[in-house]
Structure 1
Amino acid sequence: MAYEPYVTADYYTSVYKGSIVPEQDLEKALRQASRHVDSLTYNRIVGQGFSSLTEFQRDVIQEVVCQQADFEIENADEINTVLSSYSINSVSAQFGSSWNVFVEKGIAMKRDVYALLSQTGLCCRLAR
């Protein structure tokens, strides 16, 4: 059985009104964002089944997947770099945790988006 992302391309464009992810990359970006949400929720969504979640949890997860797909497309170069910092002509840049980016299990996510995902109750390491 193939993995199904929590958001369809139609949902992304019609409901979320997303336009950042190019159409040819949309399915892949939504699948990757869904997998990242699974990692950050300790695969609880897979274990319980998406349809078994409350309507609130499903809505939040779909919103987070869309926002994460946008974030990962917009910041692909920085996220996929192997460098943690660099400097060119007295201008330096560092990658990793910053005041607005959360990094957990190698997944970069905006802190406010992670806070939204946390409202589902699925991100707590100790939850069952």
Structure 2
Amino acid sequence: MIYATSQELSEELLELASSKVDELTFNRIVEIGFDNLSDFQKDKVIKATLAQAQHYEDYGTDVASLSGFNVSGLSMSFKDNGPVPTGVSPVAYSHLTQSGLMYRGWF
């Protein structure tokens, strides 16, 4: 299920972003149903999906294995994003953290 729409981003990127949101939330949205989320959670999921799709648009969809590069003696390495998994938009991660859907403990 695609959680957001955008005139600027392709449906394919939105589908990939929605899948990443499902992965990060342990498929809780699939289990609960998007329509059964609170309005606050829906807003955060939509914003996270759009942020992740934009991240894919800007950086590509296969950045998980890229930690740096070297071209003609110029070396570039990327910093550790802390708790944010590689390939995930820090903005999307923040929205999902606020939603409570990434909580790993007991409810």
TM-score by length of 2: 0.83
For the pair 1:114 / 2:93, whether they are aligned, the reply is yes
Residue 115 of structure 1 and its aligned partner are, at CA, apart by 1.4
| Identical counterparts, % of pairs | 30
> Which whole-Å deviations, capped at 9, do the CAs of 1:86-124 have from their partners, x for residues lacking one?
21223112257346x921xxx522323311211110011
Q: Which runs of 5+ in 2 are unaligned?
A: none
Q: For 1:78-93, what aligned pairs fall within 5 Å after superposition?
A: 79=63, 82-93=65-76
- In the alignment, the residues of structure 1 paired with residue 19 and residue 79 of structure 2 have an alpha-carbon distance, to the nearest angstrom, of 20
TM-score by length of 1: 0.71
Say what the alpha-carbon RMSD is for the aligned residues: 2.4
Q: For 1:1-128, what aligned pairs fall within 5 Å after superposition?
A: 4-8=1-5, 12-13=6-7, 19=8, 21=9, 26-76=10-60, 79=63, 82-95=65-78, 97-98=80-81, 102-103=84-85, 108-128=87-107
CA pair 113-83 structure 1, distance change in 2 beyond 3 A? closer
Letter in 1 for 2:91: D
